[in-house]
Amino acid sequence: MNSHNHLVDAFQRTVNYLRVSVTDRCNLRCRYCMTSHTRWLPKGAILTLEEIERLVGIGVGLGITKVRLTGGEPLCRKGIVDLIARLSKLNGLQDLTLTTNGTLLAQKAAALKEAGLRRINISLDTMDAAGFFNITGLNLLDTVWQGIVQAAAAGFNPIKINCVVMRGSNEDQIVPLAELTRSQPFHVRFIEYMPIAVDPHSAKSRFVPMADVQQRLEKLGALIPLPSKNGDGPARRFRFQDAPGELGFISSMSEHFCSRCNRIRLTADGHLRPCLLADEQVDVMGALRAGAGDEEIAAIFAKALAMKQGEHRLSFGGNCQLRTKMTDIGG
Ligand code: SAM
Ligand code: SF4
């Protein structure tokens, strides 16, 4: 814990991790993320890179030590490499990471590394070309694979690969993706499908609990548990005997980890959002554009923190449904 951290919520959780959605736009159309109603925000409605830099700087002054850039697709945002170069110089920021769909990574990996990006997560739900097209709407599996290869060549280590598991879609890819960890030093993490911006009842049929995924993998060989490290976040970690890579299971729905939550989010349209899985958020862009000083902005961070609930209420039972879309919040 940072002794200068001013971001402690009502449940005594210290928040030191800021996830920033740098754009709501994306070049893929993943089924679980976008709906046919998804519309892009007008350009003036999203934070400029300078505004992002200022807000992150204020957050770091308050105790944020880790920042993840996400979206939409962060590599679609013009000027992203420059933003990373500027953020990486912030005094007090210990970890700067990015989550990407990998489609633009092959050409950008070296520049991202040079700009000071520390780590990278790449989303890949399938190793099958037809399946990739089916999930994302584009035929870019080879392009993403090249992105992964180039990220490794640029020196990103470990490379984390995120897979959202959906029944009737990519269940058959659990084994091939996990097998990757036997030949490559990749960290493959399986993630539970969350009912965001969809009808939770229809989403339920798609849901595969992590316990199922783990059981399937145990048939391939013993899963050796790994101790949790600082910065692991919510993943439970394992590896196969003698494997260079490792496996992670993230069970946001079946076994949530809210009591350990250390996160807050900045949305592409300039809101601070205390939780991915709750609609509450507070506008910070308005104050910024009205000329607010740093203290006023810090007070908005405090307000967002005060809104952080003890645990999320999202379920497949239909009690609760998110109105905001994933691309805006930043997954
Ligand atoms: N475009 C980038 C990407 O795909 O990696 C970054 C943004 S994306 C919204 C961040 C992560 O959220 C991705 O790993 C994606 O698979 C995950 N995600 C999106 N919708 C989801 C859902 N309904 N349930 C679980 N994970 C989801
Ligand atoms: Fe785009 Fe990422 Fe959403 Fe897929 S998950 S549509 S790549 S933002």
Cβ–Cβ under 8 Å, residues 269 and 283 = no
Protein residue whose Cα sits closest to atom 4 of ligand 2: 30
- Give CA–CA dist 105/62, Å, rounded: 32
Distance 33 CA to ligand 1 centre (A): 6
- Give CA–CA dist 104/76, Å, rounded: 8
Is the CB of residue 99 below 6 angstroms from any atom belonging to ligand 1?
yes
* 151-197 confidence digits (pLDDT tens): 999 999 999 999 999 999 999 999 999 999 999 999 999 999 987 76
Cα 180 versus chain centre, distance = 21
Residue whose structure tokens are 């899985």: 277
**Which residues have CB under 6 Å of ligand 2?**
26, 28-30, 33-34, 71-73, 101, 123, 326-327
DSSP 8-state symbol, 15: P
Distance 153 CA to ligand 2 centre (A): 24
Ligand nearest to the CA of 97: 1
- Give CA–CA dist 303/282, Å, rounded: 8
- Give CA–CA dist 69/52, Å, rounded: 10
For residue 140, give both structure tokens.
């870019």
Query: Residue 150: what pLDDT?
Result: 98
Query: Residue 203: what pLDDT?
Result: 78
Query: Residue 314: what pLDDT?
Result: 64
Choose the residue to mutate in 326, 327, 329 for probing ligand 1, maximizing ligand atoms within 8 Å of C-beta: 326
Please name the residue ranges forming H helices in the chain: 49-62, 80-87, 105-115, 129-136, 141-153, 174-183, 200-204, 210-218, 285-289, 294-306, 326-329
Cβ–Cβ under 8 Å, residues 74 and 99 = yes
Cβ–Cβ under 8 Å, residues 66 and 17 = yes
Name residues whose C-beta falls within 8 Å of residue 12's C-beta, 6 or more positions apart in sequence. Answer: none
Query: Residue 10: what pLDDT?
Result: 77
Q: Which atom of ligand 2 is nearest to the CA of 73?
A: 8
Ligand nearest to the CA of 100: 1
Is the CB of residue 164 below 6 angstroms from any atom belonging to ligand 1?
yes
Q: Which residues face 18 on adjacent strands?
A: 67, 264
Q: Which CATH number fits domain 17-329: 3.20.20.70, 3.40.605.10, 1.10.10.10, 3.40.50.150?
A: 3.20.20.70
Distance 225 CA to ligand 2 centre (A): 30
DSSP-assigned states of every residue in 120-172: EEEE---S-HHHHHHHHSS--HHHHHHHHHHHHHTT--SEEEEEEEBTTTTGG
Distance 327 CA to ligand 2 centre (A): 7
- Give CA–CA dist 272/55, Å, rounded: 10
Query: Residue 124: what pLDDT?
Result: 98
Ligand nearest to the CA of 75: 1
Q: Which residues of the chain have pLDDT under 50?
A: 1-3, 319-320
Query: Residue 2: what pLDDT?
Result: 45
Query: Residue 232: what pLDDT?
Result: 57
Query: Residue 1: what pLDDT?
Result: 41
Amino acid sitting at position 85: A
Distance 331 CA to ligand 1 centre (A): 5
Domain ranges of the chain: 17-329
Residue whose structure tokens are 């003698």: 242
Protein residue whose Cα sits closest to atom 14 of ligand 1: 123
Protein residue whose Cα sits closest to atom 10 of ligand 1: 331
Strands of the 119-123 sheet, one edge to the other:
223-225, 236-240, 246-250, 187-192, 159-165, 119-123, 95-100, 66-70, 17-21, 263-266, 271-273, 282-283
